[in-house]
Amino acid sequence: MVQFILDPKAGVPFYRQIIDQIKFGIASGSLTAGEQLPTVRALAVELKVNLNTVTKAYKELEIQNILETQQGTGTFIGKTVIKIPEKERSKKLQDICNEFSTIAFSYGFSADDIINELQKKNRK
């Protein structure tokens, strides 16, 4: 389960906030494989947004193989696991971290800031 929340002031489109929260929910374990998400209509009502906005979010996640939808039944967290060849693994990690810290630095955060924040989350 995930408590969805939209922030109109975030500067991030609603449908993207929904996408992000689902993705992060999966990554953090709050959402597990096979779990059913709220119906498009239910979530639209809950978040006070249009049906199409939720649909757009779900659909994009289905295209990414993160969600599985069954018309008439519902939308579910998929079982997709991304596998990377061991050789590429450490290079990929470096790439991600480089991009990550570069962006964080551009906002004036230090490496320690980031590490602290990640450790904070890690403890939870």
First to last CA, the chain: 17
Of the residues 26, 31, 37, 77, which one makes contact with DNA according to CB under 7 A: 37
Kindly indicate which of the ranges 37-45, 50-58, 68-76, 86-94 contains the residues binding a second copy, using the contact rule CB under 8 A: 86-94
Question: Of a second copy, DNA, none, which one does residue 33 interact with (CB within 5 to 8 Å by kind)?
Answer: none
Q: Is 84 exposed, middle or buried (0-12, 13-18, 19+ CB in 10 A)?
A: exposed
Tell me: does residue 99 bind DNA (CB under 7 A). Answer: no
Of the residues 69, 101, 109, 114, which one makes contact with DNA according to CB under 7 A: 69
Please, which residue, 9 or 71, has the CB nearer to a second copy? 9
Tell me: does residue 114 bind a second copy (CB under 8 A). Answer: yes
Number of amino acids touching a second copy (CB under 8 A): 53
User: Under a CB-based contact definition with an 8 Å cutoff, are residues 76 and 35 in contact?
Assistant: yes
Instruction: Give the DSSP H or E segment for 74.
Output: strand 74-77
CB of 38 to DNA, least distance (A): 7
- Per-residue b/e over 10-21, b at no fewer than 16 CB within 10 Å? eeeebbebbbeb
Longest CA span, the chain: 49
What span, in angstroms and rounded, lies between the C-alpha atoms of 35 and 45? 20
Which chain residues interact with a second copy by CB under 8 A? 2-5, 7, 10-13, 16, 20-21, 23-30, 81-84, 89-90, 92-94, 96-109, 111-115, 117-119, 121-122
